[in-house]
Structure 1
Amino acid sequence: MSKTDLKLLIIQPSHYRSKTDRTIFKTKRRQMVPLALPYLAALTPREWTVTLLDEQLEDIDFDVPVDVVALSAWTLHSPRAYDIAAEFRRRGVKVIMGGPHAFFYADEAAEHCDAVGVGEAEPIWKTMLEDAAGDRLQKIYRAAPLKELNDLPPPRYDLLDLKKFGPFRTFAVQSSRGCPFVCDFCSERFYLGGRYRWRPVDQMVAELERIKNKGSHFFFGESNFGGKKSRAMELMEGLVPLKIRWSTLWSSNLCLDTNFLDLAQRSGVMHVNIGIESIDEEMLQGMKKGWNKASRYGEMFDNLRKRDISYSLNFIFGYDDEHPDVYNATLSFLEAHKVPAAYFNILTPTKGTALFERMKKAGRIIDPEDIDRWPGQVCHIWPKNCTPGQMEQRIQTMYRKFYSMRSMVHRLPFPRTRSDMSSWILNLTERRMAFSSTGNNDFDIY
């Protein structure tokens, strides 16, 4: 392989519509401009000519002249990623893979690819490409976690066709990695790091300034934007002069901090997603989310509403001790508080979590290797108080009731502000999925 004319194709695979329907999921346009592809391109040495391809938006030409194909995959994408890898390897092209799926299933992925990168890309990406060029690829490369997030290169958004992301596109950016919390069901802290790290504020602001002329709405795609509150407030101070609009995820306790919320409002926050998980205090303790104070949820919502901050809530159902009325009680609670948007999730024992180990030991996981490989709300466990099919039906019913037109008209204000409009658009999108033929809650459309 010539070291002066190296061609690299980085692919974000799509996914199959279901376990039985191997049709590739496609969309004509995304709202969210992804971060993984352009950031990997930014890490790539200059001797490589890089092409980026989002399979959800474009078809793959398997006969394109290329030296190396890199696949970035979540577990949802893995069945399709393996098929893509097979097609290129059949043509003699080297294939490497990384992403969250490779972190938990490195040995499995290595059976389908020439090399697998486990962990953060920065310490190993250049080495993997050098070894590919020198025909000396190892099967698995494991990265030591970065101690700091200083001097990260700006993503190569210039390699994307931004017209495919619409006129109101949102750029995914990242100002921190890791999470200081240890939730019973969450695996993110494993592949993003248990140690919370953040980028210097001046570097993050400079990156947003460079992107701003391409679009002024940003999504901070990280586990917890407020993982270190003082740092988050310093960053928000830096966002104020940019006059951008942004969204993110943060913990419920921050919704009780009026100084934090005032600054978030001044810095341009438009929407925040919050994992409150349950309206039952005892259930929250079992999830190891004791910082969620169900008795103060109403206060949280009022604080957000007063500042015209749109929000959405995440819930998890399927714990052994949950009350059988929790489904209807949750819907009544959401309507009473006029909550703009909510996501209802079935308890899923993701690989790497304490929940996974407990459920596997008890023989309650239906098929451990099947978890997260297919879209939609799938029950992967044997629930204590119902069948897996009944659990799936309960969640589908919740979606259809919550996103019914009657519920939307009752919960949502007349769209006078951008926040109101954002809530209506989000509800109409979720309604379309809730009432689709499959009932899949497929966030990949974004």
Structure 2
Amino acid sequence: MKKTILLITPENREINRFRRKQFNNFIQITMPYLAAFIDESKYEITLVDEYNQRIPYDRDFSLVALTVNTSNATHCYEIAKIFKEKGSKIVMGGPHVTLLPDETEEHCDYIIIGEAEETWPIFLNDFYHSTPSDRYSCSNIPSLNKLPIPRRDLIGKRYFTKGAVFATRGCPYKCSYCNLKQIYCDEFRVRPVEDVIEDIRSIKSKYFVFWDDNFFGDINYVKSLMKELKKLKKKWAAQVTLERCKDEELLQLAKESGCMYLFIGLESFSEENLQEVNKGINDVMKYKKIINAIHTYGISVQAGIIFGFDHDRKDTFEATLKACNNLGIDGTTVSILTPLPQTPLYQQLKKEERLLSKDWRHYNGKTSVVYKPKNMTKEELYEGYMWFRREFYSFKSILKRMIISKTNIMHNLIVNLGYKLSIRENGFKKANKDIETKHN
């Protein structure tokens, strides 16, 4: 007899309000990927993504599975409580579970710690035979060979943004604010090129995104992959580090294989900030030369910018806007520095007694400041962050940047307008006020 399983990609209302107006939100690949490991002779699968779907609380499921990141942890605990009261069993995995397993297991029946290629199938088999353990932990470094293709057929209400795929796992670097070293086995790995190509070929849309944390992490590997990818005539985007883009052959292959834009974590225009958070691989003096080279190959740059480092001051926002405009940055993903649990940054701020909140709902990097900045107040940091977002996505800035970039004009215009529409200040102010009230 089949058991019923509900796979949920959670998204709390605060972040959902933030993201829904944006036009380039690709599917989170975790749950469609994990669904591919499930034996349908044993389980009837339902997959729900809260980005654009409602959770079916009116239905009964044998098992409810949630992938938990830090900002959604409290929301996931609330979801779990509702289903537990209905008699469902709850299993949780994902970054927050791996970082804080003792906390998480108080809200569910089973947890899966770390990478899940080996433990998830074992758990599913154990649960089906009514012999599950409370914890499953990754003890070996999982191979990325012959992995199943994600169940994109289970994804609802998407077309252009359901094409996500990964070719590598991990990152060679150790930035102090990043939790990759805590949630993945500490070894950069790649999937066989032929497996990745088969996965991409199965995507019906012409457009897809590589979900890798550092797609250019192994240059020789990615060059081989892009040579094969060129034959598929698709359009794609990926996240990379700027210093790898010095390789002109790499950029040429990216262009030929259909790359439309690269997400690049510039993070800051301050050398002091970059050195302090262990991101010295970024050389501010070389930003212009490398970004110009990327544009020369017809590839757009979506820059990651973080505000709130210890060398940031009130004039940092205006200086950053000027720098981005002068570089012709096509778009930015702007964040407030957020000390994710177990990261070196979190430990530092905790030791310095600068943390303001332990409410994980506020640890999203977008709507709240959860620590005491060094050279400004938290209100000044938040207002400066909001000012930058408004000004960067003003028509004046959009026009100036597009004139300099001259890259993917129509695509960039649509994406910029999507970000412009997503700015909703009132909800963000309320979130910060809530933190202030609780802290005081």
Tell me if TM exceeds 0.5.
Answer: yes
Deviations 1:119-172 (A, max 9, x none): 1111111222233233333322111243421010111112223xx114x33511
2:46 pairs, out of 41, 47, 51, with 51
Paired residues of 1:179 and 1:193 also in contact (CA < 8 A): no
Paired residues of 1:314 and 1:342 also in contact (CA < 8 A): yes
2:412 pairs, out of 399, 415, 423, with 423
* 1:13 pairs with 2:10: yes
Aligned to 2:329: 339
* 1:42 pairs with 2:36: yes
Paired residues of 1:45 and 1:126 also in contact (CA < 8 A): no
2:8 partner letter: I
Q: Classify the secondary structure of the residue corresponding to 2:264.
A: strand
Paired residues of 2:303 and 2:333 also in contact (CA < 8 A): yes
Structure-to-structure mapping, 1:321-360, within 5 angstroms: 321-360=311-350
Structure-to-structure mapping, 1:14-413, within 5 angstroms: 14-17=11-14, 31-46=25-40, 47-161=42-156, 164-166=157-159, 168-211=160-203, 214-370=204-360, 372-373=362-363, 376-413=366-403
Q: Classify the secondary structure of the residue corresponding to 1:33.
A: coil
1:332 partner letter: K
Paired residues of 1:415 and 1:424 also in contact (CA < 8 A): no
- Size of the alignment, in residue pairs? 429
Alpha-carbon distance in 2 for matches of 1:319, 1:402 = 20
Q: CA RMSD in A?
A: 2.6
1:331 partner letter: L
1:172 partner letter: A
Structure-to-structure mapping, 1:434-445, within 5 angstroms: 434-438=423-427
Alpha-carbon distance in 2 for matches of 1:415, 1:363 = 43
2:3 partner letter: L
Paired residues of 2:295 and 2:405 also in contact (CA < 8 A): no
Task: Give 1:383 deviation, angstroms.
Answer: 1.2
Task: Give 1:435 deviation, angstroms.
Answer: 4.9
Higher relative contact order (CA 8 A, sep 6+): 2
Paired residues of 1:349 and 1:356 also in contact (CA < 8 A): yes
TM-score relative to the length of structure 1: 0.89
Alpha-carbon distance in 2 for matches of 1:145, 1:269 = 34
Alpha-carbon distance in 1 for matches of 2:284, 2:106 = 46
Q: Which moved more, 1:266-275 or 1:289-298?
A: 289-298
Query: Residues 49, 105 of structure 1: CA spacing in aligned structure 2 closer, same or farther, 3 A cutoff?
Result: same
Q: Which moved more, 1:428-437 or 1:79-88?
A: 428-437
**What is the percentage of aligned positions where both structures have the same residue?**
31
Query: Residues 322, 266 of structure 1: CA spacing in aligned structure 2 closer, same or farther, 3 A cutoff?
Result: same
Alpha-carbon distance in 1 for matches of 2:180, 2:116 = 16
Task: Give 1:285 deviation, angstroms.
Answer: 1.5
Paired residues of 1:224 and 1:250 also in contact (CA < 8 A): yes
Alpha-carbon distance in 1 for matches of 2:79, 2:211 = 27
Q: Classify the secondary structure of the residue corresponding to 1:158.
A: helix
> Which residues of structure 2 form unaligned runs of 5+?
430-440
Paired residues of 2:73 and 2:360 also in contact (CA < 8 A): no
Paired residues of 1:33 and 1:171 also in contact (CA < 8 A): yes
Query: Residues 373, 427 of structure 1: CA spacing in aligned structure 2 closer, same or farther, 3 A cutoff?
Result: same
Alpha-carbon distance in 2 for matches of 1:281, 1:325 = 16
1:433 pairs, out of 410, 415, 422, with 422
Alpha-carbon distance in 1 for matches of 2:290, 2:38 = 44
1:115 partner letter: Y
Deviations 1:248-278 (A, max 9, x none): 1001012221111011111110010101111
Query: Residues 145, 265 of structure 1: CA spacing in aligned structure 2 closer, same or farther, 3 A cutoff?
Result: farther
Alpha-carbon distance in 2 for matches of 1:223, 1:17 = 24
Q: Which moved more, 1:428-437 or 1:26-35?
A: 26-35
> Which residues of structure 1 form unaligned runs of 5+?
441-446
Alpha-carbon distance in 2 for matches of 1:126, 1:147 = 13
Paired residues of 2:72 and 2:360 also in contact (CA < 8 A): no
